Structure 1
Amino acid sequence: MFAWILRGCRDECSASDQLKQVTMSSRRKRWSQKKISQEVERAKEFTKSGNKQAAMQCLKRKRYYESQMNQVGSVQLRINTKERMIADHTGNK
């Protein structure tokens, strides 16, 4: 019942966890970039064929992937900030 008390603070994560987060976020960013370019190409094809509704759907998905990429970028920035804080803290001792 009170297991969360015994576990301690979960805000701190180990260096290996941060490394995993960095690699996963870089993978997600590459994946998002690939999907964005695919959706743009699909939208161009649909526009050429005259299917505007499908082209708009592709552009909506593109916008979604761009927002995902922005979120990944903010996560990477947060991780880099944590690493700098840890490096500064260990350097001051």
Structure 2
Amino acid sequence: MPETAQEQTEVVAPFERWKPALHEIVIDTHSNKPGEYMGKELGVTWLRPVGGGIEWPTEGFRRATQEEVMRAKVALENRRSVAP
């Protein structure tokens, strides 16, 4: 899927320092899945599923676009709406 001009401007340049806030939604670059940033421990960055769950280590992540954040939040609400 081609990126829009807005998505391209949100990409962080390699020289720009960016550290996500705790629980900020980011994209795991290996699996391309959204996850909440949980921190870095002993050189390993940890993410967890949006809304909670078992954390997983990632070798890389990037800032999520506004569309990706909204998609992750809608998916979470959809899962909650069908839960018993």
Q: TM-score, normalised by structure 1?
A: 0.27
Higher helix fraction: Structure 1 or Structure 2?
Answer: 1
Between the two structures, name the one with larger relative contact order (CA 8 Å, sep ≥ 6).
1
